[in-house]
């Protein structure tokens, strides 16, 4: 990829590029300084991306863009989580983005984010419910334990590319209570010769951000760009 490409050219690749190109561009966006108007332009790509992978790439970029400046992240991510006209996978990625913001409680969007996550535990999409469980665990929301226990007992759905929603709810409960969580294998990998799926890139990005957050616990000054090199 040409590192000298301007923002509009990068946006065009996110909007119409191949799965590989749009995902790589979403990483490149993180390294740029975006104006307020450009951020709004990125948000629009969640709706106007040519194909689903383009819309998901835009949601990746939006989630990553604010990892180190989370006071600006929540209103965009909350709005798109609540936007039921978007594809569930796009909304799910925005939910994961919320999980990684972890804002100070003084952030004016903190309470709204908690309420939004709680409400969307009842969403019709397994992907959205799964990532709401994950986000609630990351935020250590004790008030959600009762709802999580209900999901653990009653939700039989599988989040495509991952595992049962009930298992993610169980993990969230354990995290909130300070317990160890089990190592889980995505359902798609539980067969002897798993095929590569469209969710593989999402798993790799999820793992990348998880690595970033683990490193941040040790060194608050580390940049995610270190992991993107």
Q: Which residues pair with 164 in a beta bridge?
A: 158
Q: What would the pLDDT profile of 104-124 be if each residue is shown by its tens digit? A: 677 778 889 999 999 999 999
128 pLDDT more than 80: yes
Q: Among residues of the chain, what percentage have pLDDT more than 90?
A: 48
What is the distance between the alpha carbons of residues 132 and 101, in angstroms, rounded to a whole number? 13
Helix residue spans in the chain (DSSP H)? 7-16, 19-30, 36-48, 52-65, 74-82, 88-101, 110-119, 126-139, 145-154, 165-176, 200-218, 225-228
Name the region of 32 (left: φ>0; alpha: ψ -120 to 50; beta: rest).
beta
Q: What is the pLDDT of residue 151?
A: 98
Q: Among residues of the chain, what percentage have pLDDT more than 70?
A: 76
Q: What would the pLDDT profile of 25-55 be if each residue is shown by its tens digit? A: 888 887 777 777 888 888 999 999 999 999 9
129 pLDDT more than 90: yes
| 120-127 contacts, C-beta under 8 A, 24 or more apart | 120/81, 120/82, 120/95, 121/147, 121/148, 121/151, 125/88, 125/91, 125/92, 126/88, 126/155, 126/157, 126/158, 126/159, 126/160, 126/165, 127/88, 127/89, 127/91, 127/92, 127/159, 127/160
Instruction: Indicate the pTM of the whole model.
Output: 0.77
- Average per-residue pLDDT for the chain: 81
List, in order, residues 6 or more apart from 46 with CB less than 8 Å away: 55, 58, 59, 62, 80, 86, 90, 94
What confidence tier does 3 reach under pLDDT thresholds 50, 70, 90? low
């Amino acid at each position: 990829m040409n590192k000298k490409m301007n923002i509009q050219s990068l946006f065009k690749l996110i909007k119409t590029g191949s799965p590989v190109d749009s995902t790589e561009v979403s990483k490149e966006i993180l390294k740029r300084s975006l104006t307020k108007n450009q951020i709004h332009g990125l948000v629009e790509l969640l709706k106007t991306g040519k194909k689903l992978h383009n819309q998901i790439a835009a949601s990746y970029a939006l989630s990553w863009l604010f990892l180190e400046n989370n006071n600006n992240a929540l209103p965009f991510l909350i709005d798109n989580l609540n936007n039921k006209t978007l594809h569930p996978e796009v909304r799910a990625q925005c939910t994961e983005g919320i999980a990684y913001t972890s804002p100070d409680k003084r952030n004016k969007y903190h309470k709204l984010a908690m309420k939004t996550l709680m409400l969307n535990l009842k969403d019709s999409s397994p992907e959205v419910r799964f990532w709401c469980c994950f986000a609630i665990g990351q935020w250590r929301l004790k008030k959600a334990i009762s709802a999580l226990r209900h999901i653990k007992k009653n939700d039989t759905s599988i989040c495509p590319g991952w595992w049962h929603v009930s298992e993610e709810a169980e993990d969230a409960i354990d995290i909130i209570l300070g317990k160890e969580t089990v190592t889980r294998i995505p359902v798609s990998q539980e067969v002897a010769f798993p095929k590569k799926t469209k969710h593989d890139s999402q798993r790799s990005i999820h793992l990348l951000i998880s690595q970033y957050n683990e490193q941040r616990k040790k060194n608050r000054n580390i940049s995610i760009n270190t992991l993107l090199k």
